[in-house]
Amino acid sequence: MASAKQQLADWQLQDIEGSSKTSACPRRRGADILRDPHFNKGLAFTLEERLQLGIHGLLPPCILDQNVQVLQVLKNYEMKKDDLDRYIFLAALQDRNEKLFYRVLTSDIERFMPIVYTPTVGLACQQYGLAFRRPRGLFITIHDRGHIATLLKSWPEDDIRAIVITDGERILGLGDLGSYGMGIPVGKLALYTACVGMNPQQCLPVMLDVGTDNKELLKDPLYIGLRQKRVRGQAYDDLLDEFMEAVIERYGQNCLIQFEDFANINAFRLLNKYRNKYCTFNDDIQGTAAVAVAGLLAALRITGNKLSDHKFLFQGAGAAAVGIANLIVMAMKKEEVPQQQALSKIWMVDSKGLIVQGRANLTDEKLQFAHPHPEVRNLDDAVRCLKPTAIIGVSAIGGAFTEQIIKDMASFNKQPIIFALSNPTSKAECTAEQCYQLTKGQAIFASGSPFDPVTMEDGRVLYPGQGNNAYVFPGVALGVVACGVRHIHDEVFLIAAEAIVEKLFEEHLAEGRLYPPLNTIRTVSLAVAVKIAEYAFRNGLASLYPEPEDKESFISSLIYNTDYDEFLIDSYAWPEEASKIQTVKK
């Protein structure tokens, strides 16, 4: 018979989802408990728990509850001198005490999201070698071909439901950052938990390191990635194929794989290659599309007309632009507009000018938006020629929406729609203040990065809408994972856009908002997840059985709880200590 101590070591920590509850002892004891962010509670461990877990004496005698710990974190946070320091401070908290980290984030998501995600995450990626403290996630290199299944076994968690992967080639609007791009999967998955309550232990960030073509990084002594030029072609494809197959072999067909910040040359190609074989989506293409279309649907509540009444001009024709345009076409088709008529409403400007029929070397994605028209070299001329009702910036060219362009848009539109969606803030096509002031507050504005409210001369305070993908991907992920969806259709993202707009109320529109306030994002994300679950079961896409009658209650029951668990001793383990400890459930 195993010893009492061996029995204790063999116990598993029970599921930590749902309401506050008592847990059995974790496998680890002593100082290891304090080094494990999943279990560490810092000074919140009770005397009974300290005795039981072998950490009595390793902590000061004071016992602080979680609310006091949050206050302590906030006081430290306020002492940091800049946003990068705040990012590093919060990352250290995540590495030390996971539940406290998420309790802090959810206490004021509007305050902390710009630090853990855009725009600060862009700066953090640029400085990742300096900010790097403790590895978080899995780093897979081109030299690991043939061994990826073994690498996945190195990850300590067996039940992974969602993966975010990048190869670092197009990080936000900053370009090729190689392994420094790991900050993006880490940040995205932090929002999976903060915005909708995915269990962080079921999430895995992955960096696929195939080298970098960034010469500055290759010379950087702090660079943490492979010091070689990017590998492309068949070797690259073979690595990704092996990764996808290894994920399914280890974690199952229902494991969600979100592609993030892949370059245009790979983004659509990989999405089309894998979408019908795995549970996968590309956030830059589909998530950005959903949040942009949500903003456009909200704008229609101001303009009082339909999508098909508008003419859209994109600055940029990459993955994000094409993704948004395709979802606009899908939304127009719901208005019973024929596809060709819908396509004719959408124009694009890329680095070579307006995309028109007859222009050489157009990709298939761009070709569908090439219309008969004389060549136009730049956005300024395209705006004057086409007189669009909406301009959408996704080119990562800071200041692309010049003063003249904004004034022109206001001259032939009573309420011009101006979306400056590029990230980070330095890459935004214009600021909220520029847009509102130059149009005398008549513009319907949204941005990718957050901007402060703008006070107009007449006293109105306008709150610029932040078209943040965080409104989309956490809710999509939870809805897909909860129902066991194996292939994600484009319609999922239109459903997500519509669900977001349903949570936008008239008082929000009156303030100039096109999205619900960020402090309501958990409610919005839950609504997105529920709508996707309903769609999945209605269309036979869900593999979960039996179908839950109350899908909102079912999905709510899965949400990660940031309250600390209580670790209680079993009366059969150590009788001499069990006699001293009462097990009282909350």
Active site residues: 117, 188
What is the C-alpha separation between 562 and 452, in angstroms, rounded? 30
Provide DSSP, 409-477. Answer: HHHS-SS-EEEE--SSGGG-SS-HHHHHHHTTT--EEEESS----EE-TTS-EE--EE--GGGTHHHHH
User: Packing angle between helix 264-274 and helix 319-334, nearest 10 degrees?
Assistant: 50
Cβ atoms of 448 and 514 within 8 Å: the answer is no
Handedness of CA 128, 130, 135, 141 (dihedral sign): positive
Q: For residues 472 and 448, is the Cβ–Cβ distance under 8 A?
A: no
Which of 118, 132, 209, 129 is closest to 169 using CA atoms? 209
| CA 202 to mean position of chain CA atoms | 15
Q: Which helix (H) or strand (E) holds 312?
A: strand 312-315
Burial of residue 493 (number of CB atoms within 10 Å: 0-12, 13-18, 19+): buried
| Residue for token pair 């696929």 | 208
Q: Residue 516 in 3-state DSSP?
A: coil
Q: CA-CA distance, 283 to 257, in Å (whole number)?
A: 10
Measured between alpha carbons, how far is 266 from 273 in angstroms, rounded to an integer?
A: 10
349/316 Cα distance (integer angstroms): 6
3-state helix, strand, coil in the chain (%, to 5): 50, 10, 40
Distance CA 112, CA 120 (A): 10
* The two structure tokens encoding residue 348: 């694009």
* Separation of alpha carbons 584 and 210, rounded Å: 52
Give residues with Cβ within 8 angstroms of 79, minimum separation 6.
Answer: none
